[in-house]
Structure 1
Amino acid sequence: MAEAAASHGCNEVAVNVKDDENSPCPSACRTKRDFSLQFSVSFIQKIIAELLGTYFLIFAGCAAVVVNSDNEKIVTLPGISIVWGLAVMVLVYSVGHISGAHFNPAVTIAFATCKRFPLKQVPAYITAQVIGSTLAAGTLRLLFRGKHDYFAGTAPSGSDLQSFVIEFIITFYLMFVVSGVATDNRAIGELAGLAVGATVLLNVMFAGPITGASMNPARSLGPAIVSNQYKGIWIYMIAPVLGAIAGAGMYNTVRYTDKSLREITKSSSFLKSMNHA
């Protein structure tokens, strides 16, 4: 607030005073203040987008879990998988251009470690994601009370080691896909939401019965806080983060170049050998 007020005051002075060396707010000051204010507003918009996006994602996905448990498995595992995948897809297309549509602390941290996201913005993003998840879980808790109250969080159905490895692998897979469609200019950007949503759908389909297919510390932490159930919570805090970092790192390893696909094929040894043939 103080920063915004200072910026506003600077602009007011600039309206009434000519720009010169003796002016209390020369052009350089106005530009710096305007940029600072614009950055602040833009960043707040990103945080709001992450909070709302995470809220709707967790609300839709966990609602499918609760309704399935409350109505004799009517939604089924494929149905729950589709809900998660579609929720991710529509939200990526809705706010991806605003905040990047992380909705996941593991994704945010992985991007930061690869220097594709500002490190100083990580705490704010993670806070917004956890708050969004907790609010969504709390909403479901209010809507489904008494005998209809089912834990919508994640818990290992087997050993902790089994769940840890599975969560690591499926988050690795997810982040590898995200890195490919979101950070490589050779990919078809318009299909990013579809690719990421389909990856989540596939992961939930086979890993859901074993670990809950979290892939997202916020997804597990929010319902755990609301229901006060923390069984195996450390798995969902650590494995997805490590898996996401490894997935992003691996894609950066196999990333050939920043050149366009046409430039790559023109200079590739494969194409040269075909021309000589």
Structure 2
Amino acid sequence: MIVILSTGHISGAHLNPSVTIAFAIFRHFPWAHVPAYIAAQVLGSICASFVLKGVFDASMSGCVTVPSVSNGQAFALEFLIAFNLLFVVTAVATDTRAIGELAGIAVGATVLLNVLVAGPSSGASMNPVRTLGPALAAGSYKSIWVYFVAPTLGAVAGAAIYTLIKLRGEDEDDEPPPRQVRSLPR
């Protein structure tokens, strides 16, 4: 929430390549910027993970995202929480009817809810680079494919569903309001 509120007006607060890809697919972000943003996201995750490893002189095993459930269950959870995240992000970041000042709070609350729901089972990554950096620093790649594929597919699906809802809402806005018929006193 704090990063979104403090940097959203500069970079759009793209901290997650799944968000960047979903936004590009639905024309909320230029494809030409996607490679640079993803490179920055990957580099940021790797650098942060190795800094933490150095500062705490740790193996980083506690920071690695690994499922405590089956890969299929983790995949489903990561898909669903990324769907939820991108539904909210797309709503508050792309719909002019939404209150933009509250975007950081809405997204932060969604991440918190997702962590409470899926954290104990899948680690609630929602972000491929959140998983990548610690995996590289720890040299642990168990089930890493789940955290690359599921959040990206869930993000695209969440953005797609909100976009469909938004388009229906825009079509309804173009229609004149229904006439109100008053009953006359007898």
Note whether the superposition's TM-score is higher than 0.5: yes
1:253 equivalent in structure 2: 164
Quote how far apart the aligned CAs of 1:264 are: 3.5
Residues 1:267 and 2:172 aligned together:
no
Aligned residues of 1:184 and 1:258 also touching (Cα < 8 A): no
Q: Paired residues, what number?
A: 181
Identity score, percent: 54
**Where does residue 7 of structure 1 map in the other structure?**
none
1:182 aligns with 2:93: yes
Deviation at 1:267, TM superposition (A): 3.2
Q: Is 1:230 paired with 2:141?
A: yes
Contact 2:86 2:158 in 1 (8 A): yes
Q: CA deviation at 1:258?
A: 4.7
Letter matched to residue 139 of structure 2? N
2:132 is aligned, of 208, 213, 221, to 221
What's 1:173 paired with?
A: 84
Are 2:34 and 1:129 equivalent residues in the alignment?
no
Equivalent residue number for residue 106 of structure 2: 195
Aligned twin of 1:108: 20
- Could you tell which deviates more after superposition, 241-250 or 131-140? 131-140
Shift of 1:136: 1.1
TM-score (norm 2): 0.91
User: Which protein, 1 or 2, shows the higher relative CO under an 8 Å CA cutoff with sep ≥ 6?
Assistant: 2
Distance in 2 of aligned mates of 1:215 and 1:250: 18
Q: Partner of 1:139: helix, strand, or coil? A: helix
The AA in structure 2 aligned to 1:142 is G
* Deviations 1:193-243 (CA, angstroms, capped at 9, x unpaired): 000000000000120000110000010001001111000000000000000
Give 5+ residue unaligned stretches, structure 2. none
Conserved 8 A contact 1:170-1:215: yes
1:155 aligns with 2:66: yes
2:150 paired with 1:239? yes
**Paired residue secondary structure (1:267):** coil
* RMSD of equivalent CA atoms: 1.9
Aligned partners of 2:176 and 2:2: how far apart in 1?
Answer: 38
State how far apart, in whole Å, the 2-side matches of 1:211 and 1:197 are: 19
Matched residue type, 1:100: G
